[in-house]
Amino acid sequence: MIIQLRKNISDSQIEAMAAAYEGVVVNYESNVLVVTPSAIKNIDSKFDDIIEKNWVLDSDIQLSSRKFKNETRKISIGRFTSGSAQTLLTIGPCGVEGEEMMEQTAKLIVEHGLSSIRAGAFKPRTSPYSFQGMGEDGLKLLAKMREKYGLSVVTEVRDSTHVQLVLDYADVIQIGAKAMYDHGILRACGRSQKPILIKRGFGTTLQEFVQAAEFVLSGGNPNVILCERGIRTFETKSRFTLDLCGVAYLKENTNLPVILDPSHAMGYAYGVPDLARACMAMGVDGLLIEVHPNPAVAKSDASQQLNHDTFRKLFETLKPIAAAVGRTIV
Ligand code: PEP
Ligand code: MN
């Protein structure tokens, strides 16, 4: 249950209410909320005079539920705002590999009138022997692109040891599919006000996915965006299976903006343009596409990144699809 308390009640009254129901106290807009386990359906009448209103929810999808807030959250990233008629098209290489390729990427972004650059400086790899990212040097290069080209920076945090560092440099903090269960990261992101982009783990149900977002929301950060990037199924011909049905569910039932990532789902560049068009047709808040000036030599995710010319052609075909679903690409 979400309980909104009346204004001007004392801290001890708030604490007593929270303690009675094992609730989490959340400051939301200009109100104080106590969010209890969703199994709580009734509140003792002795608390009546401190309660403004309450929402009874049927699962622990609470702050992110449309039953609580019946519109997509407005989250600003540079000149993009979620829950509007804009779709954020955030592109860049899988990882920051050096200044020259970041310059080329930034120029491609500016050429298309886009507003953000995305690349990882801390890469969560499946092998300890492959490229792990440039670390803080990579963050510095991303910051340089922001300064030089006026772009917002989207970059990922790999583990809780460098959350603060990434928060210092990034405009949007990405929590990757493997990191989304790391409660150190989720809680640290809950203490920030910067937009947090949570990618769905490939074995994560929608309920678990949204509950990861609830950790950030209940920690006090209302700016959470979900990213569907493919789940593992019996199919092995593509790297993962992009769950568009799941996206329909999230749009219908949650107030969180949704970004779709066809690159990691497909795993192979040949399928990404068709999938990107399908994603755009879903009328989502954003798309994440990996591009690289020379994918053949990319240090991570080489098989799925689009070269710049392929991206240019794709972009032209995305524009009419965006228009058909009432959106402009930012
Ligand atoms: C990435 O975005 O480059 C990445 C590592 O993605 P994921 O966490 O979805 O595998
Ligand atoms: Mn990648």
For the chain, 330 residues long, give each residue's pLDDT as a single digit of tens: 999 999 999 999 999 999 999 999 999 999 999 999 999 999 999 999 999 999 999 999 999 999 999 999 999 999 999 999 999 999 999 999 999 999 999 999 999 999 999 999 999 888 999 999 999 999 999 999 999 999 999 999 999 999 999 999 999 999 999 999 999 999 999 999 999 999 999 999 999 999 999 999 999 999 999 999 999 999 999 999 999 999 999 999 999 999 999 999 999 999 999 999 999 999 999 999 999 999 999 999 999 999 999 999 999 999 999 999 999 999
Distance separating alpha carbons of residues 15 and 32, to the nearest angstrom: 11
Which residue owns the Cα nearest ligand 1 atom 1?
94
Residue 155: the pLDDT is 98
The answer to whether residues 45 and 95 belong to one domain is no
Instruction: Report the first-to-last Cα separation within the chain, whole angstroms.
Output: 37
Q: What is the pTM of this model?
A: 0.97
DSSP of 254-272, one letter per residue? B-S-EEE-HHHHH-SGGGH
| Residue 175 covered by a domain | yes
Q: Identify which of 156, 227, 241 to mutate to test ligand 1's pocket (most ligand atoms within 8 A of the CB).
A: 156
Is there an atom of ligand 1 within 6 Å of 286 CB?
A: no
The answer to whether residues 31 and 161 belong to one domain is no
Ligand that lies nearest to the alpha carbon of residue 157, given by its number in the listed order = 1
Distance separating alpha carbons of residues 119 and 141, to the nearest angstrom: 10
Distance separating alpha carbons of residues 32 and 34, to the nearest angstrom: 7
Q: What is the CATH number of the domain that holds 302?
A: 3.20.20.70
The answer to whether residues 12 and 88 belong to one domain is no
Residue 298: the pLDDT is 98
Count other Cβ atoms within 10 Å, centred on residue 191.
13
| Residue 66 covered by a domain | no
Is there an atom of ligand 1 within 6 Å of 158 CB?
A: no
User: What are the tokens at 259?
Assistant: 């970004």
H/E/C letters for each residue in 172-191? EEEECCCCCCCHHHHHHHHC
| Residue 215 covered by a domain | yes
The answer to whether residues 9 and 157 belong to one domain is no
The answer to whether residues 44 and 163 belong to one domain is no
Domain containing 10: what range? 2-55
Total number of domains constituting the chain: 2
The answer to whether the CB of 174 falls within 8 A of the CB of 186 is no
The answer to whether residues 103 and 17 belong to one domain is no
Residue 111: the pLDDT is 98
| Residue 69 covered by a domain | no
Distance separating alpha carbons of residues 268 and 302, to the nearest angstrom: 9
The answer to whether residues 22 and 97 belong to one domain is no
- Using DSSP's 3-state secondary structure scheme, residue 166 falls into helix
CA 330 to chain centre: 16
Distances (CA, A) of 267 to 130, 304, 328: 17, 5, 27
The answer to whether residues 84 and 33 belong to one domain is no
The answer to whether residues 139 and 206 belong to one domain is yes
Range list of β-strands (E), the chain: 2-5, 24-28, 31-35, 51-55, 76-77, 80-81, 86-92, 116-118, 152-157, 172-175, 196-199, 224-228, 258-260, 286-290, 328-329
The answer to whether the CB of 169 falls within 8 A of the CB of 132 is no
The answer to whether residues 117 and 41 belong to one domain is no
Residue 24: the pLDDT is 98
The answer to whether residues 91 and 38 belong to one domain is no
Residue in 138, 142, 87, 134 with CA at minimum distance from that of residue 118: 142
Q: Distance from the CA of 282 to the center of ligand 2, in angstroms? A: 22
The answer to whether residues 219 and 300 belong to one domain is yes
Residue 249: the pLDDT is 98
Q: Identify which of 301, 303, 304 to mutate to test ligand 1's pocket (most ligand atoms within 8 A of the CB).
A: 301
